[in-house]
């Protein structure tokens, strides 16, 4: 692979991702495993996007809508689309939607190909349930795609390890990965994630609404076919043929004599979003400029670095008419973005706006070299103390400021970087100068019209923002207060109550535990964190683990519960850790009365109490783990700390 191919491929991956954490869902309406398919897999090899029993799938094989997900285990944008896929499952269920996985390890992701070959072996040996468990583990540990972990995840998924090791060593199922890649490339799915919904193309980590629009349209088309006499098991093939024939890819294959219909560009987003500027946001350009460009960016992002020349051209071209406002949006897979941001903030605090932009340019000049030694060199060049900056980073001195800007980016659906709002008009990605010019010229004309009508130049942006679109409020769920016997930590009478529904066998529940600990440390007795059980049906050891923790609470109260709880998550990393012998071992280690413990486990003493928590969750529409309800506000999945701070802050203000 040449360097140009790698760069183009990486760019495609980024564009796909431009369109929070994967959760595990609890299926509705049909008694099947959340990862499995009821009734096996039909042979849809005749479809333009073929689907056979060799493909991992979720949902009914004759569901009217099939979503083919073309993905890469090392692609951060593929991981990011997880909550949307969960929402699709929750909304439509397995009777209406089938999700089919296709492998597309991109060439510049060096650890992806081995992960995909291992996943293909898991599916071939042990089927759908095992595949989706391996899939979840791979995305949960995307930074640790190693052969040792592949074996660990395969074993945890219940795969015959002798067969697995032999298959991986001989590349027995590598041909399946090659077959999927060939299919993906044939239909133009060169970036990840890519989706074909009954053959209709959706590219990237798009929001749920984008998928819903296509799914609903395809459900209607499927209903028409069935009403006209098409068997349910033939709907996918017929609709995929129809949609493939109407696609841009099909147009490229037509004979020259048949003119292709021009593809219509997507409608322009003319929305003006309300984008607030904070008093300590660095600004470049006059404060009374008629056009304000608010830029969310990340020092470790190669596309943010690439757009720097374009931004210089914008500033040089428009001089007194444009000001640029910087906001940090440190993406979670860029670990050096926040340390770099601290250097820029330190110089801003010392020397104002000019100091910030000097540091900004020096950091992008150094990027991608942003390790401590590189940042120390930048700091010393700027006349800053690296030792002081390191202490600030360790103390998270500017965390609140960075979190605020990142939360705002999330509210505005500006998930990728760079993202720009030009007088409130959104422009995503490292766009060319002409794309900026088109928006700036239009906004400049509008702004001059406001000035002509009497608005002072310095008030133009404020006037435009009055009509700006506000972000929607956080989702809410109606749940009753926790029971008196739910274990908790934090303030007993705190005004902010965080109810956490979780599952000891869920990898995402384990992943969010450090975040829960961070919340506890930061807010102390100002919040009450309450544990509620929601063992998922496909996690066979989770109900027993939940009952064991309940008995620990019965014997030793809150303190005993949380110690047992911590041991359970620690044990969940081993294949048999949550089976009965493992539970007995934990109970013995923590000094529980073993006679009482064994009697409680043997009799199912706490089974009904665990199921009661799950019933409350189901009635409220809480179907996945981990799920949080914070004074009525709902957070789904292993979200970053910033997502919790935003909701907790809102709840605290309302509680006052």
513 falls within a domain: yes
Identify whether the C-beta of residue 458 lies closer than 8 Å to the C-beta of residue 287: yes
Residues 64 and 95 in one domain: yes
Q: Which residue has the tokens 């991608």?
A: 368
Residues 386 and 512 in one domain: no
Alpha-carbon gap, residue 202 to 19, rounded angstroms: 9
Query: φ and ψ at 495, to 5 degrees?
Result: -80, -20
Low-confidence ranges of the chain (pLDDT < 70): 1-42, 245-268
Q: Strands 627-630 and 633-636, how do they pair?
A: antiparallel
pLDDT in the model for residue 80: 85
Per-residue CA distances from 552 to 266, 558, 568, 601, 605 (Å): 57, 9, 12, 11, 12
In-domain check, residue 611: yes
Domain assignment present for 28: yes
Tokens representing residue 103 in the block: 């492998």
Rounded Cα gap, residues 541 and 530, in angstroms = 22
Alpha-helix residue ranges (DSSP H) falling in 141-234: 147-156, 161-169, 174-186, 208-227
Write out 82-127 in H/E/C secondary structure: HHHHHHHHHHHCCCCEEEEEEECCCCCCCCHHHHHHHHHHHHHHHC
| E strands present in 298-337 | 322-328
**Helices and strands of the chain, counted as H and E runs:** 25, 17
- Same structural domain for residues 439 and 542? no
Domain end (from 209, 233, 250): 250
CA-to-CA distance for 652 and 654, rounded, in angstroms? 5
- Is residue 310, in this structure, part of any structural domain at all? yes
The string of pLDDT tens digits covering residues 501-525 is: 999 998 889 989 999 999 999 999 9
> What is the C-alpha separation between 601 and 597, in angstroms, rounded?
6
DSSP 8-class letter at 483 = P
Q: If you count them, how many residues does the chain have?
A: 656
- C-alpha 135/C-alpha 154 separation (Å) is 10
Q: Are residues 453 and 566 in the same domain?
A: no
Q: Do 76 and 192 belong together in one domain?
A: yes
| Burial grade of 589 (CB within 10 A; 0-12, 13-18, 19 or more) | exposed
321 in Cβ contact with 289 (< 8 Å): yes
**Residues 244, 126: contact at Cβ < 8 Å?**
no
Same domain, 421 and 535: no
CA pair distance 618, 629, nearest whole angstrom: 13
Of the three residues 226, 250, 274, the one that is the final residue of a domain is 250
CA-nearest of 408, 424, 421, 429 to 329 is 408
Q: Are residues 497 and 634 in the same domain?
A: yes
C-alpha 236/C-alpha 234 separation (Å) is 6
pLDDT at 11: 42
Question: Token digits for 549?
Answer: 């923790």
Is residue 376 in a domain?
yes
Instruction: Give the sheet arrangement for strand 496-502, strand by strand.
Output: 488-490, 527-533, 496-502, 627-630, 633-636
> CB of 367 within 8 A of CB of 377?
no
Domain range for residue 519?
488-655
Q: How many CA atoms lie within 13 A of 126 on its CB side?
A: 24
**Residues 375 and 236 reside in one and the same domain:** no
Residue 544 and residue 419 share a domain: no
Query: Is residue 146 a part of any domain in this protein?
Result: no
Q: Give pLDDT, residue 364.
A: 97
- Phi, psi at residue 54, to the nearest 5°? -75, -10
pLDDT at residue 135, as a whole number: 92
Classify residue 501: in a domain, yes or no. yes
Q: Summarize pLDDT for 264-281 with one digit per residue, the tens.
A: 444 667 899 999 999 999
The answer for residues whose C-beta is within 8 angstroms of residue 615's C-beta and 6 or more apart is none
Say whether both 424 and 499 belong to one domain.
no
SS3 324: strand
Report yes or no: 312 and 324 within 8 Å, Cβ to Cβ.
Answer: no
Of all helices (H) and strands (E), which one includes residue 614?
A: helix 607-620
Q: In degrees, to the nearest 5, what angle opens at C-alpha 461 toward C-alphas 457 and 464?
A: 115
Are 148 and 31 in contact by the 8 Å Cβ rule? The answer is: no
Buried b (16+ CB within 10 A) or exposed e, 441-479: eebbeebeebeeeeeebeebbeebbeebeeeeebeebeb
Domain count, the chain: 3
Give φ, ψ of 167 to 5 degrees.
Answer: -65, -40
Residues 459 and 498 in one domain: no
Spatial strand order of the sheet with 65-71 comes to: 57-58, 97-103, 65-71, 194-197, 200-203
Decide if 262 is inside a domain. Answer: no
The pLDDT of residue 4? 44
Q: How far apart are CA 105 and CA 71, in angstroms?
A: 7
Q: How many CB atoms lie within 10 A of CB 82?
A: 23
Residue 290: strand, helix, or coil: coil
- CATH number for position 409: 3.40.30.10
Query: Cβ(493)–Cβ(605) under 8 Å?
Result: no
E-only strand ranges, 268-376: 283-284, 291-297, 322-328
A 10 A CB-CB count for 602 gives 9
Sign of CA dihedral 403, 407, 408, 413: positive
Q: Give dist(CA 627, CA 181) in Å, integer.
A: 35
Same domain, 632 and 577: yes
């Amino acid at each position: 692979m040449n360097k140009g191919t790698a760069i183009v491929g990486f760019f495609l991956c980024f564009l796909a991702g431009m369109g929070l954490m994967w959760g595990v869902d609890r299926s509705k309406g049909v008694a099947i495993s959340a990862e499995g398919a009821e009734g096996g897999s039909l042979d849809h090899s005749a479809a333009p996007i073929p689907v056979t029993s060799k493909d991992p799938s979720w949902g009914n094989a004759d569901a009217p809508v099939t979503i083919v997900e073309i993905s890469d285990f090392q692609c951060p944008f593929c991981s990011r689309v997880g909550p949307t896929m969960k929402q699709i499952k929750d909304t439509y269920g397995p009777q209406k939607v089938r999700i089919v996985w296709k492998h597309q390890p991109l060439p510049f992701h060096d650890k992806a190909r081995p992960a995909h070959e291992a996943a293909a072996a898991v599916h071939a040996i042990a089927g759908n349930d095992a595949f989706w468990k391996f899939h979840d583990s791979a995305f949960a540990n995307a930074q640790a795609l190693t052969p040792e972990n592949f074996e660990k995840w395969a074993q945890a998924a219940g795969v015959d390890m002798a067969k697995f090791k032999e298959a991986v060593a001989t590349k027995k199922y590598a041909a399946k990965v090659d077959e999927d890649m060939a299919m993906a490339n044939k239909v133009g799915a060169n970036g990840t994630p890519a989706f074909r919904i009954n053959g209709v193309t959706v590219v990237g980590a798009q929001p749920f609404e984008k998928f819903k629009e296509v799914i609903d349209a395809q459900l209607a088309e499927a209903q028409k076919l069935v009403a006209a006499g098409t068997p349910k098991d033939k709907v996918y093939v017929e609709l995929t043929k129809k949609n493939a024939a109407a696609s841009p890819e099909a147009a490229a294959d037509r004979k020259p004599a048949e003119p292709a219909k021009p593809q219509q560009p997507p409608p322009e987003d003319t929305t003006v979003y309300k984008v607030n500027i904070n008093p300590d946001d660095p600004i470049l350009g006059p404060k009374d400029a008629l056009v304000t460009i608010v830029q969310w960016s990340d020092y470790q992002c190669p596309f943010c670095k690439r757009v720097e020349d374009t931004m210089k051209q914008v500033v040089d071209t428009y001089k007194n008419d444009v000001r640029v406002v910087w906001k940090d949006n440190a993406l979670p897979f860029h670990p050096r973005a926040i340390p770099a941001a601290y250097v820029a903030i330190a110089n801003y605090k010392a020397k104002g706006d000019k100091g910030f932009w000097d540091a900004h340019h020096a950091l992008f000049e150094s990027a991608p070299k942003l390790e401590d030694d590189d940042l120390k060199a930048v700091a010393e060049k700027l006349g800053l103390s690296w030792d002081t900056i390191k202490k600030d980073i360790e103390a998270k001195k500017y965390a609140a400021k960075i979190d605020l800007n990142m939360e705002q980016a999330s509210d505005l659906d500006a998930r990728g970087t760079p993202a720009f709002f030009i007088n409130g008009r959104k422009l995503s990605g490292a766009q060319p100068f002409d794309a900026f010019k088109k928006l700036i010229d239009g906004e400049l004309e509008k702004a001059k019209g406001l000035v002509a009508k009497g608005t002072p130049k310095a008030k133009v942006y404020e006037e435009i923002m009055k009509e700006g679109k506000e972000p929607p409020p956080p989702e809410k769920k109606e749940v009753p207060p926790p029971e008196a016997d739910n274990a908790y930590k934090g303030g007993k009478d705190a005004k902010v109550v965080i109810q956490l529904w979780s599952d000891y066998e869920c990898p995402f529940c384990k992943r969010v535990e450090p975040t829960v600990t961070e919340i506890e440390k930061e807010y102390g007795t100002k919040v009450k964190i309450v544990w509620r059980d929601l063992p998922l049906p496909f996690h066979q050891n989770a109900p027993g683990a939940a009952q064991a923790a309940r008995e620990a609470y019965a014997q030793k109260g809150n303190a005993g519960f949380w110690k047992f709880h911590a041991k359970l998550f620690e044990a969940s990393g081993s294949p048999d850790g949550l089976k009965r012998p493992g539970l007995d071992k934990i109970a013995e280690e923590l000094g529980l009365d073993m006679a009482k413990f064994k009697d409680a486990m043997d009799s199912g003493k706490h089974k009904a109490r665990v199921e009661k928590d799950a019933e409350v969750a189901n009635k409220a529409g809480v179907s996945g783990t981990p799920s949080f309800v914070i004074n009525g506000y709902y957070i789904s999945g292993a979200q970053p700390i910033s997502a919790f701070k935003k909701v907790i802050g809102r709840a605290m203000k309302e509680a006052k």
